[in-house]
Amino acid sequence: MQAASWSIGVDVGGTFTDFYAFDRHSGSVALHKTSSTPANPAEAILTGLAELAAKTGFEIADVGALAHGTTVATNALIQRRGARVAMVTTENFRDLVEIGRQIRPKLYDLKADHPMPLAPRDMRFGVRERIGADGKVVVPLDRDSADAVIEALKACGADAVAVTFLFSYLNPSHEQAMKALIAEALPDIAISVSSDVQPEFREYERSSTTLLNAYLQPSFSRYMSTLKESLERSSPEARVGINQSNGGLMSVDKARDFPIRTAMSGPAAGTMGAIHTARLSGRADIITFDMGGTSADVALIRNLESKLAFDRDVAGFPVRMPMIDINTVGAGGGSIGWFDRDGLVKVGPVSAGAVPGPACYGRGGTEPTVTDANAVLGRLSGHGLLGGSMSLDVEASRQAVGKIADRLGFTLERAAIGMLDIVSANMVRAIRAISVERGHDPRDFVLMPFGGAGPLHAEGCAQALGIAEIVIPYSPGILCAQGLLVADRSESFVRSQRLALTKANAAALSGLVASMMEEAEAWWKAEAVEQPARGRKLAVDMRYASQNYELQVPFDDLPSIEEMRQLFFQAHEQAYGFHSETDPVDVVAVRLTALGRLPSPAIPPVPADATSAPEPRDIRPVWFDAVAAVETPVYDRATFAPGTVLQGPAVIDQFDATCLLFPGDVAIVDDAMNIVITRKGSAR
């Protein structure tokens, strides 16, 4: 074995921590799952690496690259376990993050409100300074005022501070000067300034993003340092990359400074893995849904490209950062079925999580979950999960789901089917939000389910959406971890400046791109990205002059002004169903993403004992509807070779997931080892 040959993707989820390992020299692939350790995610990573190395037969020192997707930042925001954080703003603007936008979070809930700012009012301070809307200094930074704020920071005992001045995205000089003064006076405090975090217009969102970043910095920095030090001891040659919400990897040092970039890194990795899978299977337009233990994440991919969103909420707080456009709903294998005050059954968003987990896990859970419903219906393997290493207590599932059935007066199976129908409806609503509501017909797409529970629920979603074809990846339960290995290193740059889209401003637009290319060149050099591996993506945010929100239009290279107008019209037509060729158009921001492309894992090798005519290893009754069970063959996916054809019904077991083939459906294993299901109706 050559040194440092293994590349490993590690995705930390709410229930399991997943590992996808690829030996770049031999082409072999190894998969592993271990229970997550929410109190200390690094513990599960290090334990899982040791277990993976032991069962696969390689040395941890042979790891050359490790890519990590993490939920630490998101969980810290949800649970409010961040730092004691202060905020420094332009004088008289300290209440901006509390006033926010006058938009109701829930239209019909008169009591709902935005979460309170993470920096209480007595820890928000104003400095006398002012940059104007043209980027020119109106009031110079007042040193006495700055010194008074620094003394207040010392007195309040803040662990971190966010600095957000007006119009700093046009002129960051005052912010950077304040950062230097604070760093000199308080060397142990974590500092986030908005001109570093995300230099864009929209003051409230920029301030909120910077405050969240500061709130996460101390704990995330400790986590990254601990993980890096541990890996340096065990895998000294490993290059560690941390996944970002935009689907690219960044260094550990960059992650320490900008933890908010990781807020959606796990789901983003799944999208990158889905794009890789779709490319291998020759499908360009797909709708993904990643159903894990706690939630389901859905995304739309067109022409093998995912859209980026720049205004998202994370744990109720607005975040202005590039994130893969993913819609999340509380629908996972651990989602609990319960009765609302109206007497109707609801499923989720409350989840049994990793501990105690579903009742069938035998860890003390007693509430009925989606996983328990699948166990009752015979859809999950009787010998257990994770290759039989995790046994299932089906009787415990029957007792848990029986609570729902008894209250409704239903049979056990009908209650279980009802729970699954409800959770499918939740996911379908999320899919419609990213497809139908944005001008896309889901029937034009292929459905790609993944996550530990995704393939079990693919049929219900496809049926409701009218989707005819389903593609199940080679390792659906570990696709997020695999996606980390196909993600490129990336760094995003932005210039936020409002310009009329006219020929007179063509030179100004070219200048913005040129200045970002200089920064990209510096980043490529710092990251040691060789010329052949360099890539870039360019996009311009545009809107009509009378609009309040913009559309992002991607380009290979900056085109002519007229071409930009026509492409904007096409995007507007797609999004809103109309466009006007006479109304003036404004450019709001220009974006450039620098890429350091990494070699992707090849198609997994075909197992030596695989065949195109596999025999079922078992036959068991499976309920596809509430009427009667069907005697269904059970197959081991590890025995499938390319060209395998199966006629439904069938259950397909594998280490990381279970796939359900409904009666009348046909499954074919393609050359990339993915299962392509053509739907021809369902017995339901």
Mean per-residue pLDDT for 283-308? 89
pLDDT bin (cut points 50, 70, 90) of residue 683 is: very low
- 3-state SS, 405-457, equals HHHHCCCHHHHHHHHHHHHHHHHHHHHHHHCHHHCCCHHHCEEEEECCCHHHH
What is the pLDDT confidence band of residue 23, given thresholds at 50, 70 and 90?
A: confident
**Residue 15: pLDDT band with limits 50, 70, 90:** low
Instruction: Return d(Cα 499, Cα 492) in angstroms, integer.
Output: 21
Question: Is the confidence at residue 602, as pLDDT, over 80?
Answer: no
Other CB atoms within a 10 A radius of the CB of residue 282 amount to 11
pLDDT averaged over every residue in the chain: 89
Provide the β-strand partners of residue 242: 68, 250
Amino acid making up residue 316: G
Residue 536 in this model has a pLDDT that exceeds 60: yes
* Helices assigned H by DSSP within 158-301: 173-185, 194-197, 203-234, 252-257, 265-281
Inter-axis angle of helices 394-408 and 412-434, nearest 10 = 90
* Phi/psi of residue 592, nearest 5 degrees: -135, 130
What residue segments make up the domains of the chain, in order of their start?
Answer: 6-77+221-262, 78-220, 335-422, 490-596, 618-678
Residue 441 has pLDDT above 60, yes or no: yes
Mean pLDDT across the stretch 560-576? 93
What is the pLDDT confidence band of residue 227, given thresholds at 50, 70 and 90? confident
| Exposure of 655 in the CB half-sphere (CA atoms within 13 A) | 14
Would you list the DSSP string of 21-50? EEETTT--EEEEEEE--TT-HHHHHHHHHH
pLDDT level of residue 684 (50, 70, 90 thresholds): very low
pLDDT above 80 for 381: no
At residue 77, does pLDDT exceed 60? yes
Strand 618-623, strand 629-636: pairing: antiparallel
pLDDT higher at 528 or 186: 186
**Closest alpha carbon to 268 in 69, 546, 447, 411:** 69
Same fold, 6-77+221-262 and 490-596: no
pLDDT of residue 265: 85
pTM above 0.85, yes or no: yes
The residues, ordered by sequence, that sit 6+ positions from 424 with a Cβ below 8 Å of its Cβ are 457, 460, 461, 464
User: What are the distances in angstroms from CA 479 to CA 272, 288, 326?
Assistant: 9, 11, 16
Instruction: Calculate what percentage of the chain has a pLDDT beyond 90.
Output: 55
Tell me the HSE value of 451 on the side-chain side, using a 13 A CA sphere.
Answer: 33
How is residue 506 written in tokens? 């063509």
Tens of pLDDT, residue by residue over 487-531, are 888 999 999 989 999 999 999 999 999 999 999 999 999 888 999
Confidence of residue 43 (pLDDT cuts 50, 70, 90): confident
3-state secondary structure of 628: coil
Q: Per mean pLDDT, which range of 287-291, 331-335, 504-508, 566-570 is the poorest?
A: 331-335
- Both tokens of 444, joined, read 């034009």
How do residues 366-377 score in pLDDT, each as one tens digit?
899 999 999 999
Instruction: Specify the 3-state DSSP secondary structure of 592.
Output: strand
Using CA atoms, how far residue 558 sits from 492, 500, 508, 579, in Å, is 17, 16, 12, 22
Burial 158-196 (b: 16+ CB within 10 A, else e): bbbbbbbbbbbbbbbbbbbbbbebbeeeeeebbbbbbbb
Tokens of 9: 């993707």
What's the CA gap between 322 and 328, in Å, rounded?
Answer: 16
Residue bearing tokens 């105690």: 356
Q: CATH fold of 490-596, please?
A: Dna Ligase; domain 1 (3.30.1490)
Helix (H, G, I), strand (E, B) or coil at 201: coil
The pLDDT, as a whole number, for residue 382 is 63
Which residue type, as a one-letter code, is found at position 442? Answer: P
* Banded model confidence at residue 203, pLDDT cuts 50, 70, 90: very high
Average pLDDT, stretch 11-37?
Answer: 82
How many other CB atoms are found less than 10 A from the CB of residue 612? 12
Interacting residues of 522 by C-beta distance below 8 A, sequence separation 6+: none
Strand order in the sheet with 16-23: 29-35, 16-23, 6-12, 63-69, 239-243, 249-251, 489-500, 585-596, 534-544, 551-555
Q: How many whole angstroms separate alpha carbon 184 and alpha carbon 356?
A: 48
Place of tokens 């997931």: 657
What contacts 157, CB < 8 A, 6 or more positions away?
A: 84
Residues 392, 380 contacting (CB under 8 angstroms) = yes
Sign of CA dihedral 320, 321, 322, 325: negative
Whether the per-residue pLDDT at 579 is higher than 80: the answer is yes
- Distance (Å) of CA 675 to CA 60, 183, 283, 302, 397: 32, 55, 13, 20, 29
Q: Look up the CATH number of domain 6-77+221-262.
A: 3.30.420.40
DSSP H or E segment with residue 619: strand 618-623
When pLDDT is cut at 50, 70 and 90, the band that residue 235 belongs to is: confident
Closest by CA to 310, choosing from 202, 211, 215, is: 202
Q: Check whether 651 has a pLDDT greater than 60.
A: yes
pLDDT at 606 (0 to 100)? 82
Q: 88: which strand partners?
A: 125, 163
Torsion 88-90-94-100 (CA) sign: negative
Largest separation between any pair of C-alpha atoms in the chain: 81
Instruction: Write down the pLDDT at residue 1.
Output: 39
* 67/595 Cα distance (integer angstroms): 16
The residue ranking higher by pLDDT, 325 or 193, is 193
C-alpha 337/C-alpha 367 separation (Å) is 7
The rounded distance, in Å, linking the Cα atoms of 260 and 270 is 19
